[in-house]
Structure 1
Amino acid sequence: MIPLPPMVRRIQADRMVKQQRWAEAYDLYRAAASAYPERVLAAACWQDAAGMAGRLGRYSEQAECSRRSLSLLQDSVLNTPLVRRTRIRALLALAESLYRTGDLTGGAEVARRVYDLAAGSDPDFTAESFHRLGQALLLQGEIGGALTAFARAAETARAGGSGLEIAQELVSLGVAAAMVGDDPTARDCAAEAERLARTSTDRQRTTVLASALSFQALVMRRERRDEEAVSHARESLSLLTGPVGRQDVAVLAQSRERLATCLLSCDEPEKAAEAIGLLRLNHTEAVERDDALLIVSSAANLAGAHAVSDSLDEALAWAERSVDAARRAGQGPHMVAAALLNLGTVLHAREEHARAESRLLEAVTLWEQLRATTRSEVEHIDLLGEQAQVYRALQRCRVAGGDTDGALEAAERVRGLLLEQRLLAGRSAGSAASPVPRTARQLSEQAARNNTVTLVYSLLGPARPSVRSGATTAYIWVIAPDGTRRHHDVDLSAVRAAMPSAVAADGATTAGGPGATATAEPPETRLLRALSQGAVAPVPVPVANSRDSAPLAGPDLGRITDAELRLLADAFLRPVEDDLTAAGTRRLVVVPDGFLHHVPFNALPLKDTTPLADVYTVAVAPSARTNPRATAGTRPATVSPSEALVVGNPDPPTQPLLPGLPAPVLRPLPAAEHEARTVAALYGARALIGAEATREAVLARLPRARFAHFATHALAGEDVLRIPGALCLAPSPPTGSAGEKYPEDADGSYLRADDIEPLDLSGCPLVVLSACETGWGRPSPEGNLGLARAFLAAGVNSVVVALWSVDDRATADLMTDFHRHLVTGANTGEALGRAMREARRQHPRLEDWAGFSLLGSADSRLAPAARG
């Protein structure tokens, strides 16, 4: 038989690809590559073969084909489009094969090489290079970097890609957003990806539509829409059912896994058995293909499925198999640590607490190794967030063993580490500083020195592997100044059981967001969802004269009510109220966790319905260790007129915060302007108003300011683009002093965390962010990752923030009262408490006073300089 020419084989292979006959196309591409005498054409065929090998899940062969292609191009001096694209595609395939076979470091290095080669310079590959980089970063646990990469991939696809390409990038972005708890973004990405994939006429739509449907199923499951989730997951899997050789095995395995997760959520034995069968099939095929990544994940998923089904012996066997597979495959510290966490959780469910703690401590060691290699603060914080899961499991083990002090130390171990390091580095070598507490006893000694009672909260998920996420238990420690430490274990399901049955049932919900309309469900139902899913506490709807802004506003779930405050108090204040009374001090430090960062602790009612702030001075801290040293009774900071930085009602920015976003729509704030003028007058100063309140003017005065007060609009922040909030200031003048034009600067009208972090503000005891949602941000072990944290990290003792959208007039009245109390000798905690009490008389609506919070120290004092 006369062999076919290589060009004919390649044409036949291309036809097989269009028919999604991957196995036949793979064989033809290999045959053509081996027969082509011309190196570049042979390299192109090897690269095409690598692509087919990836679809078939033959990752070792994919790596071989990729390397053959790159080897043929190694000495090529040509830089034609064919050479360039073949090299990029071969590198993309090599990156995939490396991390699928366990070489995460090698895969990330190749992905970065692709990014350097293609991103920004080759429009056809920019989105895919961002995508591959995001995949590599995600597998290494660098979720922050992965989010940014996927966001850029989606942005690039929107600029020039097809609807199907946009859908593919939205799925990846949504998955990463869900991993950091950004459910609104995940929901939006899932809905748009499904719509784009369904309406696409591209013949290759099947794989993308299957991915979009299976991801939509996961989103529905998180919203407790179990039947819809199963339906979407089954449709996804049915799209991929076909002859062997026509399936994208990675997407097929992913669809099986997601259907299994949805089936387990239904809590029905038959569906649980079906789920285990799907996961076993995944594991069997992964072993056959030597797919290291899927071997580890399928074994871990089988451990969880058996644990949910109460088959703890089977769960233990699969969990141990997952750890062994991760170690054998050289998956790296991140994957081994995740497998050890899974194993520790199963051992805890079996009440083998000593063994569980041993495995969890192994995971801790691996996380410490990973964090030692971080290159940025964002990356470090993301790793702390994952490491915190291990410490939560460790807390359960220690409490079960009666070691509540050890559990407290575990809860505090990763909290506020970066902030602590920043503050310690900023202290002068000769300053007298107490050593940072590391043990429960040292935390008690600190409470005694400061005469404070500290509440440390820790929110924990289910005690055993579960298909449900969110907080089910709250641990609360009360550290009193007399040396006592009390631990409370609050079952949040008990809180739900105490509610009326109509409230305990989940109701329909409307996606939150700017301009969203709240459903007519009882407020208690929304709070119940917050407790059970780990969502944020409800916040008020922006009103016409609020200091709110667009487009980056926080979640909007309706007005906060007295009923919601009572339920929050029942869960998180009532269990410790007697301990607070017995502590004998009115100085309270609250260390929140998770969504509790968004709870208005000042407004929580005590048993007699008195708001907490009426009885205690309340300060919120990222950790008990960084509890600011008490300065009660010390001399106040003297503020001369030139050291008072007060900003009010700046002219609105004309540029967006980032390229590609719309410019924010901002209303004038006449009450904020009056507030700024009144506050400045108390210190004999002149406020920056209107066009004067530019970023340049603020940054020129901030380093020497003794306090700063911003009465303006704010942008609350946005997780996916990693924006921790911004204050809106006036645009820069069109020309400089010498007449030169300023360069175009998209964020020149905003004060951002990046502007604050390099500064030394240790001489500025107080910053007031009198604007909407300045207390908002992504909860993390470092505290609330908003703009306020940047000021704390720069050395500011006390930062006053608002947790939600606030009324212009009501805020102005409260803030002027706050400063009037400061200048007459009150400290920051006392001044805020008094101002909130007075605000209730003038503005009795909860949303007008309850959302203000003090971060850092409650003991800062200010005094106007004597006027000559």
Structure 2
Amino acid sequence: MSQLRSMVRMRKADRMAEERRWAEAYTLYREAAVNFSDRLLSAACWQDAAVAAGQLARYSDEAECGRFSLSLLHGMKRNTPLVRRTRIRALLALAEALYRTGDLTSGEQVVRQVFGLVARNDSDFTADCFHRLGQCQLLQGEIGGALTAFARAAETARTSGTGLELAQELLSLGITANTVGDGPTARDCAAEAERLARASTDADRVRLLASSLRLQGLVLRRERRLQEAVSKGREALSLMSGAARPHDPGLAQIREGLALSLVFCGEPTQMSEAVELLTRTHTEAAERGDAIVMTSAAVNLANAHALMDAMDEALAWAERAAHTARGGQGPSFVAVALLTLGTVLHVRGEHADAEGHLLEAVTLWERVRATTRSEREHIDLLGEQAQVYRALQRCRVARHDTDGALEAAERVRGLLLEQRLLVTQSSGADTTAPAPASPVARTAQQLSELATRHNTVALVYSLLGPARPSVTSGATTAYIWVISPSGTRRHHAVDLSDTGSAIPGAVSAPGAPADETFTDAPDTRGIPFGQVADGGERAPAAEPPESRLLRALSQGAAVPAVTERDSRPLADPDRSYLTDADLRLLADAFLRPVEEDLQAAGTRRLVVVPDGSLHYVPFNALPLKDNTPLVDRYTVALAPSVRLQPTGRQGTVPVTVAPSEALVVGNPDPPAEPLLPGLSTPVLPALPAAEREARAIAELYDAPALLGARATRQAVLDRLPYARFAHFATHALPGEDTLRIPGALCLSPSAPADPAGAADSGAGGPYLRADDIQPLDLSGCQLVVLSACRTGWGRLSPEGNLGLARTFLAEGVDCVVVSLWPVDDTATARLMTAFHQHLAAGATTGEALRHAVRETRRRHTRPVDWAGFTLLGSPDVRLAREPRS
């Protein structure tokens, strides 16, 4: 009888779930699960109870039910489709419960366990797995991983899901795209999701329609079309208020989005309305135990009150955010809340207390970073930690501790690169020796000793956003430290409020370290897969937004001009080139304040440690007060940190280069396949001047050049490990941020009959990428010249500019020459030929680049033709041609 009663309860619970009466369904599923004697039926009921608990936002109950289901399935010998699907659904419910309660690492581990069960071949669960993975990565700050996961989820849903399932994935993709500033993708995702929702007759269409309007509001807010954003937010809130159950987390997200749009408007009545909405969001989140939304709402309330100069209320909410986050949400949540608390205390003038909380946040981020499993995760966490160090810099400067601020600025720069170099330097020695020590923090005095030892003057830059909570984006202040060989350290603070609008696109590129201090609550999934009855209309767009996003990021469009060594500019073409006026503006902001310190330093060796978008500033070309370019008087090298400044170890003894040790590549045939599967093949014109450049350079060293069809990926990889220097005169695909592609050099496709052609197929193709370089030991290679377009571009991070050049440096190359924008084929050939002629005559790399730039400037007066190349690493490398026998 008990078995029959349990069956009746389960059927009734199924009806309640179909009617969205989740509270009743949850109770009935639990009662049935407890009384079923059959383990599989009991496990299925516990799994259904977990889903119902998730719909009720009772995440602790969801986790409990999921674990009950999995415990019953554990060890079950039968592996029928029902057992498998019940286990998968229980794991997905447990993953959601874990990430919603703050255990993000465990949540991601559970999702990856499901991937192993699904093997990405079960369309019923593949999109759901990608979605859950994207959620976990998004909450951990792994934006690139989240974007990729959501794009894959959308692709799967478009192929095999219903219309509303596709709409849900498009919304998740759009929200994530909006966080990296890809407004067109976010807008298109929202528009298609809205169309799908309006075409559906399913009850859940209202929720997705409201979510699509919320996303449109996010895009409009980023574009500063604030009143339109408010209008979309009000419409979304009106829809959800009539359709959502009490304490619905989706309703909370829409309410919080509207509140932030109102805050950004800045009008007193709208600010008051925003505070009321955020307070209600916090209250309801507290009632349902949603600590993530509680923390987010409290952070935003603290910032909103700070904007209104209600600093007591701001402090109270910041303290509440920290208290909530400390309630078991994991160290990263606590660190974010402590950053808000430290910022509010700093604005109040309580700098010592602020510094204490910020240092606690630093410790928490260090604890999180100690568990990193990959370079990508390490870099993501460094980016989060860097925000705390920026706030700490402001606190210490306010306390007149500029040395302490310098130490904070340096603390997270180049850590992973330094570790890689330590490993590289030790790998050629005794393999039984202990592993090299991890990088350690340096005091300001130790940083000065490095400058003294290398006889350099170091310029260390740090870009900071607004000192107080703000709705504005971008850097408003630059800190500059001048570290002289004499050991003196000078600090300068520069106001950038009148500079940003005039900075060219090559400098104001994505990656500025300072952004809005407000946060949107993380996106949650309102409709689990398999619960949508009516999919609605699904008329696909001419090109789905997820496909266009991946294609665009491949840099695969046609080149803008046949004379450029580029496949596609990343910035607005009208703002990609620097004029004399642009250079003067940049010099006024970043060179003029320190010019007297440079003159007093007594050395012509200058190391620049840039920050954020300053990696794209052509420091060589910045004019001094007398309008002389900096490169005319100083040998300039860029470094990711003071600790990693050039050592000068090649400064006296030239490195002899045999003909077989000179790798020169020029004008390869265009690739016949895309950089990534499914993306377009780049359309690349021939580069005749690049071929002349390669021939001239190879002749200087009596070396053969890899030209045209001979310049294949395999041919390059065969010679690169033995090269003393490598010079690439070719097209390049610039590094980018979202998919974390650190750039690629375009090489020739292998001939079909070429046995080496198999090596060119697959992941590498006719491109030289970071993955090809990382396994190589390049410690014997002194110089790599990337004579192509935008080879100095990449993802900006505390680790430096994560482009292809950094990969060469990490594998032991002493000096890399890169470009900052699309370069002209003819002018570049002249500059590079002159550069190698001076090297062959005995000049160092720094001196050779100085002379080559000066000579090129005489014939090509526009800065775009001579200012684009910069030197990373050592300016002291000397090369010598092997004597002819």
Q: Do the two structures share a fold, i.e. TM-score over 0.5?
A: yes
Equivalent residues of 1:119, 1:129 under 8 A apart: no
Alignment partner of 1:708 is 2:726: yes
Aligned to 1:581: 599
**1:370 is paired with a residue of what secondary structure?**
helix
Relative to structure 1, is the Cα distance of residues 591 and 165 closer, same or farther in structure 2, using a 3 angstrom cutoff? farther
Question: Structure 2: how far apart are the matches of 1:777 and 1:73?
Answer: 47
Alignment partner of 1:834 is 2:831: no
Q: Given residue 760 of structure 1, which amino acid in structure 2 is its aligned partner?
A: D
Deviations 1:776-826 (A, max 9, x none): 001111110000000000111111111122222221121111111111122
Q: Given residue 445 of structure 2, which amino acid in structure 1 is its aligned partner?
A: R
Q: Given residue 403 of structure 1, which amino acid in structure 2 is its aligned partner?
A: D
TM superposition shift of 1:213: 3.0
Aligned to 2:411: 413
Question: Structure 1: how far apart are the matches of 2:884 and 2:506?
Answer: 53
Alignment of 1:42-441 (within 5 A): 43-74=43-74, 76-162=76-162, 164-176=164-176, 182-184=180-182, 187-200=184-197, 201-202=199-200, 203=202, 204-242=204-242, 245=245, 249-328=248-327, 330-428=328-426, 438-441=442-445
Which moved further from structure 2: 743-752 or 223-232? 743-752
**2:674 is paired with a residue of what secondary structure?**
coil
Query: Aligned Cα RMSD in Å?
Result: 3.2
Equivalent residues of 2:173, 2:189 under 8 A apart: no
Question: Structure 1: how far apart are the matches of 2:854 and 2:499?
Answer: 29
**1:240 is paired with a residue of what secondary structure?**
helix
Q: Given residue 460 of structure 1, which amino acid in structure 2 is its aligned partner?
A: L
More RCO (CA 8 Å, sep 6+): 2
**1:776 is paired with a residue of what secondary structure?**
coil
Aligned to 1:851: 868
Equivalent residues of 1:459, 1:473 under 8 A apart: yes
TM superposition shift of 1:119: 4.5
Alignment partner of 1:490 is 2:494: yes
TM superposition shift of 1:638: 1.3
- Which of 679, 695, 700 is matched with 1:661 structurally? 679
- Which of 750, 768, 783 is matched with 1:766 structurally? 783
Aligned to 2:612: 594
TM superposition shift of 1:526: 10
Relative to structure 1, is the Cα distance of residues 773 and 321 closer, same or farther in structure 2, using a 3 angstrom cutoff? same
TM superposition shift of 1:196: 3.0
Question: Structure 2: how far apart are the matches of 1:141 and 1:805?
Answer: 32
Question: Structure 2: how far apart are the matches of 1:397 and 1:341?
Answer: 12
Aligned to 1:501: none
Q: Given residue 612 of structure 1, which amino acid in structure 2 is its aligned partner?
A: L
Relative to structure 1, is the Cα distance of residues 557 and 36 closer, same or farther in structure 2, using a 3 angstrom cutoff? farther
Aligned to 1:509: none
TM superposition shift of 1:404: 0.2
Deviations 1:305-329 (A, max 9, x none): 222221111111221222222222x
Deviations 1:433-468 (A, max 9, x none): 9x9881212222222222221111101111122233
Deviations 1:507-543 (A, max 9, x none): xxxxxxxxxxxxxxx88799889899969xxxx9942
Alignment partner of 1:456 is 2:463: no
Deviations 1:108-137 (A, max 9, x none): 332222222225131221121122122223
Aligned to 1:518: none
Relative to structure 1, is the Cα distance of residues 751 and 248 closer, same or farther in structure 2, using a 3 angstrom cutoff? farther
Deviations 1:137-159 (A, max 9, x none): 33344455444433433443444
Aligned to 1:816: 833
Relative to structure 1, is the Cα distance of residues 708 and 493 closer, same or farther in structure 2, using a 3 angstrom cutoff? same
Aligned to 1:519: none
Relative to structure 1, is the Cα distance of residues 633 and 752 closer, same or farther in structure 2, using a 3 angstrom cutoff? closer
Aligned to 1:784: 801
Equivalent residues of 2:511, 2:796 under 8 A apart: no
Q: Given residue 51 of structure 2, which amino acid in structure 1 is its aligned partner?
A: G
Relative to structure 1, is the Cα distance of residues 741 and 486 closer, same or farther in structure 2, using a 3 angstrom cutoff? closer
TM superposition shift of 1:494: 4.7
For structure 1, the residue ranges without an aligned partner over 5 or more in a row are 497-503, 505-521
Which moved further from structure 2: 468-477 or 767-776? 468-477
Equivalent residues of 1:524, 1:563 under 8 A apart: no
Question: Structure 2: how far apart are the matches of 1:584 and 1:223?
Answer: 48
Relative to structure 1, is the Cα distance of residues 492 and 548 closer, same or farther in structure 2, using a 3 angstrom cutoff? same
Relative to structure 1, is the Cα distance of residues 610 and 164 closer, same or farther in structure 2, using a 3 angstrom cutoff? farther
Aligned to 1:467: 471
Equivalent residues of 1:475, 1:490 under 8 A apart: yes
Q: Given residue 619 of structure 2, which amino acid in structure 1 is its aligned partner?
A: F
Alignment partner of 1:698 is 2:696: no
Deviations 1:241-288 (A, max 9, x none): 12553x782221111222221111111111111111111111111121
Question: Structure 2: how far apart are the matches of 1:526 and 1:833?
Answer: 22
TM-score normalised to the size of structure 2? Answer: 0.87
TM superposition shift of 1:99: 2.5
- Which of 752, 761, 765 is matched with 2:769 structurally? 752
Relative to structure 1, is the Cα distance of residues 452 and 744 closer, same or farther in structure 2, using a 3 angstrom cutoff? closer
Relative to structure 1, is the Cα distance of residues 762 and 256 closer, same or farther in structure 2, using a 3 angstrom cutoff? same
Aligned-pair identity in percent equals 66
**1:697 is paired with a residue of what secondary structure?**
helix
Equivalent residues of 1:706, 1:763 under 8 A apart: yes
Alignment of 1:425-574 (within 5 A): 425-428=423-426, 438-495=442-499, 542-549=560-567, 556=573, 558-560=575-577, 561-574=579-592
For structure 2, the residue ranges without an aligned partner over 5 or more in a row are 516-557
**2:644 is paired with a residue of what secondary structure?**
coil
Equivalent residues of 2:13, 2:25 under 8 A apart: yes
TM superposition shift of 1:864: 1.2
Aligned to 2:519: none
**1:625 is paired with a residue of what secondary structure?**
helix
Aligned to 1:802: 819
Relative to structure 1, is the Cα distance of residues 721 and 144 closer, same or farther in structure 2, using a 3 angstrom cutoff? closer
**1:570 is paired with a residue of what secondary structure?**
helix
TM superposition shift of 1:712: 1.0
Aligned to 2:658: 640
Q: Given residue 337 of structure 2, which amino acid in structure 1 is its aligned partner?
A: A
Aligned to 1:515: none
TM superposition shift of 1:165: 3.5
Equivalent residues of 2:505, 2:576 under 8 A apart: no
Question: Structure 1: how far apart are the matches of 2:310 and 2:700?
Answer: 69
**2:647 is paired with a residue of what secondary structure?**
coil
TM superposition shift of 1:487: 0.6
**1:456 is paired with a residue of what secondary structure?**
strand
Question: Structure 1: how far apart are the matches of 2:174 and 2:412?
Answer: 27
Equivalent residues of 1:194, 1:209 under 8 A apart: no
Relative to structure 1, is the Cα distance of residues 166 and 193 closer, same or farther in structure 2, using a 3 angstrom cutoff? farther
TM superposition shift of 1:209: 3.4
Question: Structure 2: how far apart are the matches of 1:439 and 1:565?
Answer: 34
TM superposition shift of 1:22: 4.6
Question: Structure 2: how far apart are the matches of 1:779 and 1:109?
Answer: 28
Aligned to 1:500: none
Aligned to 1:627: 645
Relative to structure 1, is the Cα distance of residues 165 and 743 closer, same or farther in structure 2, using a 3 angstrom cutoff? farther
Aligned to 1:617: 635
Relative to structure 1, is the Cα distance of residues 526 and 703 closer, same or farther in structure 2, using a 3 angstrom cutoff? closer
Q: How many residues align?
A: 832
Aligned to 2:536: none
TM superposition shift of 1:41: 5.2
Equivalent residues of 2:736, 2:793 under 8 A apart: no
